[in-house]
Amino acid sequence: VKVSEEEVAFLIGETDMAAGAQKLHALGPRLVFVTLGPAGCFYSAGGHAGYMPTYDLVVKDTTGAGDAFMGGILASVVESGKPLDALLTPDALENMVDFANAVGALATTRSGGVRSMPLPEEIVTCRATAEKLILT
């Protein structure tokens, strides 16, 4: 499941992402992703949880960023060719979330929903060259 920080507070009544993720897991989802806008993403799956910063890009429009993020997650799962259980390791989860963060961040650099989806080569370039946005 992918929810925003605001949705966790509204739906689950939690402002602590780890506690919110645990409550969501109790409802059935094996993977929980909480998008945090410029603060990146909190993820929880297979007993592993953490934060992943996003990329520092010039934001034009946030429409479709969450959909792009989730598309990045799904693309990572499909492209791996592995069963979901094999992707619940810390390294695999971090790679998946980093990829999805790049997709979501790139989507914010253009206007619109569908039109803003990045091309595969743009994602590769972003991950290789863009700086991470570390918010404290």
> What are the residue numbers of the active site?
67
Compute CA 48 distance to the chain's CA centroid, rounded to the nearest angstrom: 15
Please give the C-alpha separations between residue 95 and each of 65, 101, 120, in angstroms, as whole numbers.
18, 10, 15
CB 17 within 8 A of CB 43: no
Region of 132 (left: φ > 0; alpha: ψ -120 to 50; beta: rest) is: beta
Tokens linked to 129: 């060259």
